[in-house]
C-alpha cells in the first residue's frame, strides 16, 4: 500500500455574499460542500467536472490560499487548517501550485530568472549565486534555455510561459503539486507536451499531483484515480480504468458519453446521455442530491435526503441513492 500524503476530511468552503451600507451577509456561495478524499504518495488524482463546480476552490483550499470554512486538510499528518504564520509558511515549501493562465500568474515586471528564483529568496534557502545556478538548472529541467533567464514573460509563447510556471513550482522541491487546469489555456498541439513534461518530472522526483481539469480524456491519460465533482460535492471516485469501464453515477455516465470516440462505427452505435436544464446556482443548491434537478433517474428520495458518499466496490466510491 502506498503512503497517504494528503487526506481531506469534510472540507467546506463558503464565500459570503454581502450587501448594503453595513455589508451584512445575506447569503453564501456553496463553492465546496463537505467533500472527503485522499491522495497517496507518488500518484496523480484527477479532479474533473463542469466549470464552476468548485474544482479550483478545492485545490486552493487545500493549499490554504482560501481558508476553509470548516473541515480538515491533513498533509503528512498535520492539519493545515490549524496552522498560521511561520508554521504554515514552512509547510508551504512542500506544496506548490501551477496556475491555469500562465500569463496572469507571472509578474510582467520581473524577469524569468527573478520569477523562478523568488521562492528560494522568500524562504531564504539560497544566496544570489546559488539562486542563479538553480534557476539555470530548473530552466533546463523544463526544457528551456538557461539564457532565457534575463527575458520577460511577454517575450514567450503560452507553452513556454507555462514551463516557467512549472519551473517556479519545482524550485522548492515540493512533494505535492496542485495542477489547476494547467493546459486549458494552451493550444492543443502544446497540451500533450506539457502533460508529458509533468509525467517525466513526476517519475524523476516522485511528485504527487492533484490534476484539476474538465477534459476527461486528458485526465484519464495522466491520472491513476479520478474524482468527479458536481456543484461543490464529489459524486464518484475510483481508478481511471474503473471509471471509464463501469461509471455508476448518472452524472459520470453523462460526462463520459460526451467524450468523442475516434471510431465512426462505435460512435454511431453508442447511446448518448443528454442532460436537460442548467446547473443550479451554488448560492441556493437543490435539497437532497445536488444532481437531482438534471438527473433522468431522479426519485422522491433524491429530493428528501442527501446521498451518502460510500464505497460500493473495492476503491469505488459513489454518492447516489440508486446505486
> Which of residues 112 and 124 earns the better pLDDT score?
112
Q: How far apart are CA 99 and CA 183, in angstroms?
A: 9
Tell whether the model's pLDDT for residue 124 goes beyond 90: no
What percent of the chain lies above the pLDDT cut of 90? 56
First to last CA, the chain: 28
Over residues 42-80, the pLDDT tens digits come to: 999 999 988 888 899 999 999 999 999 999 999 998 999
| Residue span of the structural domain in which 57 resides | 4-94+174-318
Tell whether the model's pLDDT for residue 203 goes beyond 80: yes
Residue 68 is part of a domain; what is its CATH number?
Answer: 3.40.50.300
pLDDT band, residue 231 (cuts 50/70/90): very high
253 located within any domain: yes
Q: What is the 3-state secondary structure (H, E, C) of the chain?
A: CCCEEEEEEEEEEEEEEEECCCCEEEEEEEEEEEEEEEEECCCEEEEECCCCCCHHHHHHHHCCCCCCCEEEEEECCEEHHHCCHHHHHHHHCCEEEECCCCCCCCCCCCCHHHHHHHHHHHCCCCCHHHHHHHHHHHHHHCCCCHHHHHCCHHHCCHHHHHHHHHHHHHCCCCCEEEEECCCCCCCHHHHHHHHHHHHHHHHHHCCEEEEEECCHHHHHHHCCEEEEEECCEEEEEEEHHHHHHCCCCHHHHHHHHCCCCCCHHHHHHCCCCCCCCCCCCCCCCCCCCCCCCCCCCCCHHHHHCCCCCEEEECCEEECCCCC
Output the average pLDDT for the chain. Answer: 89
Over residues 125-156, the pLDDT tens digits come to: 888 888 899 999 999 999 999 999 999 999 99
267 located within any domain: yes
Mean pLDDT in residue range 286-311: 89
Mean pLDDT in residue range 161-182: 93
266 located within any domain: yes
Total domains present in the chain: 1
Q: Can you give the pLDDT at residue 267?
A: 65
Q: Can you give the pLDDT at residue 36?
A: 93
111 located within any domain: no
Q: Can you give the pLDDT at residue 43?
A: 93
Mean pLDDT in residue range 297-317: 90
109 located within any domain: no
169 located within any domain: no
pLDDT band, residue 240 (cuts 50/70/90): very high
166 located within any domain: no
247 located within any domain: yes
Phi, psi torsion values for 40, nearest 5 degrees: -100, 155
Tell whether the model's pLDDT for residue 1 goes beyond 70: no
pLDDT band, residue 112 (cuts 50/70/90): very high
Amino acid at each position: 500500500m502506498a503512503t497517504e500524503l494528503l487526506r481531506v476530511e469534510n472540507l467546506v468552503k463558503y464565500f459570503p455574499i454581502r450587501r448594503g451600507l453595513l455589508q451584512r451577509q445575506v447569503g453564501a456561495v456553496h463553492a465546496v460542500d463537505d467533500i472527503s478524499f485522499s491522495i497517496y504518495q507518488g500518484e496523480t488524482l484527477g479532479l474533473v467536472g463542469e466549470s464552476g463546480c468548485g474544482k479550483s476552490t478545492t485545490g486552493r483550499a487545500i493549499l490554504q490560499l482560501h481558508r476553509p470554512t470548516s473541515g480538515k486538510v491533513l498533509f503528512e499528518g498535520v492539519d493545515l487548517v490549524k496552522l498560521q504564520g511561520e508554521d504554515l509558511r514552512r509547510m508551504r515549501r512542500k506544496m506548490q501550485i501551477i496556475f491555469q493562465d500562465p500569463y496572469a500568474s507571472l509578474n510582467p515586471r520581473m524577469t524569468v530568472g527573478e520569477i523562478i528564483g523568488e521562492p528560494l529568496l522568500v524562504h531564504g534557502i539560497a544566496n544570489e549565486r546559488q539562486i542563479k545556478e538553480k534557476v539555470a538548472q530548473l530552466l533546463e529541467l523544463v526544457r528551456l534555455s538557461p539564457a532565457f533567464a534575463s527575458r520577460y514573460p511577454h517575450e514567450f509563447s503560452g507553452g513556454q510561459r507555462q514551463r516557467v510556471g512549472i519551473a517556479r513550482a519545482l524550485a522548492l522541491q515540493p512533494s505535492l503539486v496542485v495542477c489547476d487546469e494547467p493546459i486549458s489555456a494552451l493550444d492543443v498541439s502544446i497540451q500533450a507536451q506539457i502533460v508529458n513534461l509533468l509525467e517525466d518530472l513526476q517519475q524523476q522526483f516522485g511528485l504527487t499531483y492533484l490534476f484539476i481539469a474538465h477534459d476527461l480524456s486528458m485526465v484519464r491519460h495522466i491520472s491513476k484515480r479520478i474524482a468527479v465533482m458536481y456543484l461543490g460535492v464529489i459524486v464518484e471516485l475510483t481508478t481511471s480504468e474503473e471509471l471509464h469501464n463501469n461509471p455508476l453515477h448518472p452524472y459520470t455516465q453523462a460526462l463520459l458519453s460526451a467524450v468523442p470516440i475516434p471510431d465512426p462505427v462505435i460512435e454511431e452505435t453508442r447511446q448518448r446521455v443528454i442532460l436537460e436544464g442548467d446547473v443550479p446556482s451554488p448560492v441556493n443548491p437543490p435539497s437532497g442530491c445536488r444532481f437531482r434537478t438534471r438527473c433522468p433517474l431522479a426519485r422522491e428520495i433524491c429530493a428528501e435526503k442527501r446521498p451518502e458518499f460510500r464505497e460500493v466496490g473495492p476503491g469505488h466510491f459513489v454518492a447516489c441513492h440508486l446505486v
